[in-house]
């Protein structure tokens, strides 16, 4: 399924010129891309090859005549491999292929495919100076790939994995976050682009629910001008797994004046009653698949990974519903007879402020059972991007 040629993609060389027209002629523009963390590879050579093999295919399918934004995942290895000459060559490559970098994924520091990632994905976390140096390096690279008028974001871990985090650790976390925010502010003061660190809440981490995100910003109390350089990466899969409601989340963030630097458009698994046991087929050795169970009394019970859920189900307590952190193609309402949280996206996307960057993030495509991979990778990504546009078109045409 190809993206419709009539769609205009935001992110042209001078300024976004195309948006979605809703009722009353209101123009709504949402820069839209996908995250390249779906492609295996840790080196800069891997990143370039994936863009040539997959990124350009998606551009041909979705944006043949318009500029195409990129959501790049750069591991620490790739970031520190880059020298000035290669940074300049890639800037030229973007110009040649009518692409630009919209956002960087600075969440996974090391290997992200083909090995047991699990909770190591959060390491080094914000207690470790390695996280600071890596994030600063990403910012220094982003400066050279981003026109000064265009904001860019760098998503990052939600402070740390919850297990083992102590209240005493907040002091060093605050020091490190202030260090990076100050670095971003200095870039801006020197005439560079506005770069936002985008903290990404996730189940079983120090910051997982929206209330905890608000509490983090209250605790940090970033002063001006640092506050302009720290925001949130709102991952729809994660908040759906937490049984949160999009309208409530967005209202709380707006009330606390927390900027949404980008939204990761992603969908989780969902099952009810006896069907919850079918979720266990998605247990696999690479990623952490946190599970949250809604009990019949309305309480939530959390499990770090699917084996923990399996042990609990053996005890025989009947769940009302369970949601699992496993990023599945967003256009699917069900997968192999299992439900998804696509409904969360359908409720969330139309409520986002105009201009909010959107990044489809279905990195676990390769971890799906083979029979459930409905399309080739490139066509699946294109179909996801098209679904986002169609969903926004439909929502805004009703208003």
Residues 82 and 112: their CA atoms lie apart, in Å, by: 19
Tell me how far apart the alpha carbons of residues 368 and 360 are, in angstroms, rounded to a whole number.
17
The stretch 208-229 carries a mean pLDDT of 97
Q: How far apart are CA 209 and CA 206, in angstroms?
A: 9
Least confidently predicted of 70-74, 267-271, 335-339, 365-369: 365-369
pLDDT reading at 226 higher than 60: yes
Q: Could you tell me which of 184, 214, 208 has the C-alpha nearest to residue 196?
A: 184
Residue 318 lies in a domain: no
Q: Is 9 part of a structural domain of the chain? A: no
Q: Does 21 score more than 70 pLDDT?
A: no
- pLDDT tens, 23-51? 222 335 899 999 999 999 999 999 999 99
pLDDT on residue 316 = 83
Residue 200 falls inside a structural domain: yes
Flag whether 206 is in a domain.
yes
Flag the least confident range among 63-67, 178-182, 236-240.
63-67
pLDDT of 182 strictly over 50: yes
Q: Which two tokens stand for residue 355?
A: 């201009």
Query: In this predicted model, what pLDDT tens digit does every residue of 364-379 receive, in sequence order?
Result: 888 887 767 667 788 8
Q: How much is the average pLDDT of 376-384?
A: 89
Which DSSP symbol is given to 128?
S
Lookup: tokens for 189: 């003061």
Examine residue 66 and state whether it is found in any structural domain, yes or no.
Answer: yes
The CATH number linked to 81 is 3.20.20.150
In a domain, 57, yes or no: yes
The count of domains in the chain is 1
pTM of structure: 0.92
pLDDT in tens, 91-150: 999 999 999 999 999 999 999 999 999 999 999 999 999 999 999 999 999 999 988 789
At CA 257, angle to CA 227 and CA 388, rounded to 5?
105
Distance separating alpha carbons of residues 10 and 357, to the nearest angstrom: 9
Q: Is residue 2 part of a domain?
A: no
Q: Tell me the mean pLDDT in the region 169-191.
A: 97
CA–CA distance from 188 to each of 94, 150, 261, 359 (Å)? Answer: 23, 12, 16, 24
Residue partners of 91: CB distance under 8 A and separation at least 6 = 144, 145
The answer to whether residue 7 scores a pLDDT higher than 50 is no
**Each residue of 282-329: pLDDT tens digit?**
999 999 999 999 999 999 999 999 999 999 999 988 899 999 999 999
Determine the pLDDT at residue 374. Answer: 63
Assigned domain for 347 exists = yes
- Average pLDDT taken over every residue of the chain: 91
Spell 63-91 as b/e; 16+ CB within 10 A means b.
beebbbbbbbbbbbebbeebeeeeeeebe
pLDDT of residue 368: 80
Domain span at residue 39 reads 20-268+329-397
Give residue 328's pLDDT. 94
Give the pLDDT confidence score for residue 164 in this predicted structure.
97
Whether residue 88 is predicted with pLDDT greater than 90 in this model: the reply is yes
Cα gap 158→142, rounded to integer Å: 21
């Amino acid at each position: 399924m190809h993206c419709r040629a009539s769609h205009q993609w935001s992110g042209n060389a001078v300024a976004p010129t195309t948006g979605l027209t809703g009722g009353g002629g209101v123009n709504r523009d949402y820069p839209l891309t996908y995250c390249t963390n779906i492609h295996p590879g840790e080196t800069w050579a891997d990143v370039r090859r994936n863009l040539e093999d997959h990124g350009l295919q998606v551009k041909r399918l979705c944006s043949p005549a318009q500029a195409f934004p990129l959501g790049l995942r750069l591991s620490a290895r790739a970031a520190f491999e880059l020298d000035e000459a290669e940074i300049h060559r890639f800037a030229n490559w973007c110009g040649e292929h009518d692409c630009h970098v919209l956002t960087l994924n600075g969440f996974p520091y090391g290997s992200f495919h083909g090995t047991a990632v699990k909770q190591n994905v959060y390491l080094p976390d914000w207690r470790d100076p390695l996280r600071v140096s890596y994030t600063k390096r990403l910012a220094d690279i982003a400066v050279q790939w981003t026109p000064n008028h265009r904001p860019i974001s760098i998503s990052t871990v939600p402070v740390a994995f919850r297990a083992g985090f102590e209240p005493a650790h907040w002091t060093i976390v605050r020091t490190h976050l202030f260090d990076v925010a100050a670095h971003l502010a200095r870039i801006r003061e020197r005439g560079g682009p506005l770069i936002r660190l985008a903290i990404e809440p996730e189940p079983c981490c120090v910051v997982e629910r929206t209330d905890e995100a608000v509490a983090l910003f209250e605790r940090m109390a970033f002063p001006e001008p640092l506050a302009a350089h720290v925001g949130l990466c709102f991952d729809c899969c994660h908040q759906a797994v937490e049984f949160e409601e999009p309208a409530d989340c967005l209202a709380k963030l707006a009330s606390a004046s927390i900027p949404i630097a980008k939204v990761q458009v992603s969908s989780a698994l969902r099952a009810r009653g006896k069907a919850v046991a079918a979720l266990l087929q998605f247990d696999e050795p690479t990623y952490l698949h946190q599970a949250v169970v809604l009990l019949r009394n309305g309480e939530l019970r959390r499990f770090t990974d699917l084996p923990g859920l399996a042990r609990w189900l053996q005890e025989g307590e009947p769940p009302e519903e369970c949601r699992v952190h496993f990023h599945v193609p967003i256009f699917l309402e069900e997968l192999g007879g299992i439900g998804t949280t696509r409904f969360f996206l359908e409720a969330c996307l139309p409520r986002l402020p105009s201009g909010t960057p959107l990044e489809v993030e279905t990195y676990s495509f390769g971890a799906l059972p083979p029979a459930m991979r409905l399309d080739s990778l490139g066509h699946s990504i294109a179909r996801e991007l098209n679904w986002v546009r169609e969903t926004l078109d439909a929502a805004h045409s009703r208003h």
